[in-house]
Amino acid sequence: MMGYTRTRSQTCLARVTGHQGGSQMKRSLGARTVLLPAPVLVVGTYDKEGRPNVMTVAWGGTCCSNPPCIDIALRKATYTYGNILDRKAFTVHVTPERYLTEADYFGIVSGRDVDKFAATGLTAERSEIVDAPYIKEFPFFVECALREVVELGLHTQFIGEIVDVKMDEDMLDDKGLPDVGRIRPTVMVPEIRNYYGFGEKLGDVFVMGRKLRVR
């Protein structure tokens, strides 16, 4: 795969001039899933026997503001895939730095073979509004009712309508919104397979760009 990509890349070099005066070569990487950032989302479901499971996904995010919806994409081989089709519900947790090792573990092993709650010492609680469990110790999760199933290939996209968001009191700022500095959320870099924390605040949305408004 790498050999193929490298060979192809070398035939696709094109010289372009950079914004900052330098010259850069654009290289073709091939059709690869290297978009940045990817999230670190922990999906909670019940299986047919009512056992709680969690798995970590990097393909997902918000996809509609009204009604508020989240999408996550899973391989059919995952235990969670069947659980969502059965239960028509799931939770999605944001992974804070302090639980990154657990979240990574949730992506390594299958709920078919292992009780991931027992293995990590984390606590499964039942959502009161959707048929799915959540991790009590995680600061932040979203409760979703299944709405759409989109078959794409290796992955199937599940779109869930957000029914509620629950967050630890001490993770909220003074406006009642998530406090990034306290939550310390994480991001994932696909293919290179690294996790990162959030860095410094760079600016305000729909404010930074106003200075470029000419009319």
97 binds its own copies (CB under 8 A): yes
| Chosen residue from 1, 4, 11, 31 binding its own copies by CB under 8 A | 31
Which residues in 39-58 contact its own copies (CB under 8 A)?
39, 41, 58
Please choose, from the candidates 112, 113, 120, 159, the residue with its C-alpha nearest in 3D space to the C-alpha of residue 136.
Answer: 120
**Nearest-approach distance from CB 212 to its own copies, in angstroms:** 4
CA atoms within 13 A on the CB side of 63: 16
3-state secondary structure of 145: strand
| Chosen residue from 2, 4, 11, 174 binding its own copies by CB under 8 A | 2
What end-to-end distance do the CA atoms of the chain give, in Å? Answer: 49
DSSP state of 49: T
- Whole-angstrom Cα distance, residue 208 to residue 115? 47
- What kind and span of H or E run contains 92? strand 89-94
**Nearest-approach distance from CB 132 to its own copies, in angstroms:** 15
**Nearest-approach distance from CB 82 to its own copies, in angstroms:** 19
Q: Which stretch binds its own copies (CB under 8 A): 46-54, 82-90, 186-194?
A: 186-194
Q: Rank residues 48 and 193 by Cβ distance to its own copies and give the closer one.
A: 193
77 binds its own copies (CB under 8 A): no
Taking phi first (over 0 means left), then psi (-120 to 50 degrees means alpha), and beta for anything else, what does residue 184 get?
A: left
Cα-based angle 149, 155, 159 (whole degrees, multiple of 5): 30
- Whole-angstrom Cα distance, residue 82 to residue 33? 25
> Residue 172 carries which side chain, given as an amino acid letter?
L
Q: Rank residues 25 and 86 by Cβ distance to its own copies and give the closer one.
A: 25
Which residues in 107-136 contact its own copies (CB under 8 A)?
107-109, 113-114, 119-120, 122, 125, 136
Q: Which stretch binds its own copies (CB under 8 A): 46-54, 78-86, 204-212?
A: 204-212
88 binds its own copies (CB under 8 A): no
Which residues in 10-29 contact its own copies (CB under 8 A)?
13, 16-20, 22, 24-29
Which residues in 133-172 contact its own copies (CB under 8 A)?
136-137, 139-140, 142, 147-148, 150, 152-155, 157, 159, 161-170, 172
Cα-based angle 25, 27, 30 (whole degrees, multiple of 5): 170
94 binds its own copies (CB under 8 A): yes
